[in-house]
Amino acid sequence: MRVPKVKRLKLLSRRTDLDPEGRGVHIYILPNLFTTANMFCGFLSMLKAIEGEFLLSAYFIVGAAVFDVLDGRVARLTHATSRFGVEYDSLSDLVSFGVAPAVLMYMWALRPFSRMGWLVCFLYLACAALRLARFNVQVVSIEKKYFQGLPSPMAAGIVATAVTAFHQWGIDSQRNPYLLGLTALLGFVMVSTFRYRSFKDLDFRSKKPFFTLIIGLCVLVFIALEPEVHLFLAFTTYAVVGAIWGVLGPARRRISKTAVAEVSPQSTANVVSPGPQKEQ
């Protein structure tokens, strides 16, 4: 059977859009293996949360975050970045930092709230998906030094370390209203326009002041003293500081503009007004 010429051109154009060389999709193996390990940890986290092993579930989320950092680093070091890798990484992040933390939080603390509990967990999941979709759209245009909104791995890290911190402190998590509010706030902060420092511009290969090494050593010692608790405090501090800066930053700029507007007429009180600006 002979395929019409127009139809053949359409099929050829579709194949060319997906693969210009027409030889199938080619991917970089090493970074995508790390991405798969990220998703595998997220999957195991969900299984352990359903089985009631909440601490182990939290540790798997932390492991997923480690693999998420490694896959990007490996891709850049080996010059193996690709559009396929970006999309695959986002899908894996949705599993590990969207679905897994929502399931963990519901099974660990919010299940007694019934409908309110699972709705808040779904809100967290939806916000994580929106956050990842927005990042993919803006990946070329956004400023590299900052994230727009709280990164989903950091939000998942707060959920995971909350489990370890509450276990260390001996606090009952069941039907805890603070955790209900925390889950909702994490969702809203992820889709906010608050700017969070990404630290992607840090170059550890260049020379730094000696005092920088001392600060880094102190931070490592602080976390190593009680990582189950101090990681939760560090992640929460990062989220809170970014939110406060996001709220106060625009307000501070508005105050400065108002101050300038109030000072200008006083400084030009003895000068003849040139008339309305729009008439000039």
Q: For residue 109, tell me if it sits in a domain.
A: yes
Q: Is the pLDDT at 117 greater than 90, yes or no?
A: yes
Cα–Cα distance, 101 to 125 (Å, whole number): 8
Flag the least confident range among 3-17, 132-146, 202-216: 3-17
Cα–Cα distance, 280 to 275 (Å, whole number): 8
Domain count of the fold of the chain: 1
Q: For residue 268, tell me if it sits in a domain.
A: no
Cα 246 from chain centroid (whole Å): 16
Q: Are 41 and 60 in contact (CB under 8 A)?
A: yes
Flag the least confident range among 72-76, 139-143, 144-148, 231-235: 139-143
Q: For residue 59, tell me if it sits in a domain.
A: yes
Q: For residue 76, tell me if it sits in a domain.
A: yes
Instruction: Give the dihedral sign, CA 96/99/105/111.
Output: negative
* Mean pLDDT calculated for residue range 223-233: 88
* Mean of per-residue pLDDT scores for the chain: 80
Q: For residue 261, tell me if it sits in a domain.
A: no
Per the structure, the complete domain to which residue 187 belongs is given by 27-201+208-248
By C-alpha distance, which of 252, 148, 159 is closest to 190? 148
Q: Is the pLDDT at 46 greater than 50, yes or no?
A: yes
- Provide the pLDDT for residue 201: 60
CATH code of the domain containing 192? 1.20.120.1760
Residue 102: other Cβ atoms inside 10 A: 27
* Mean pLDDT calculated for residue range 79-107: 92
* Mean pLDDT calculated for residue range 242-259: 62
- pLDDT tens digits along 137-194: 876 655 667 788 999 999 999 999 999 999 999 998 988 999 999 999 999 999 998 9
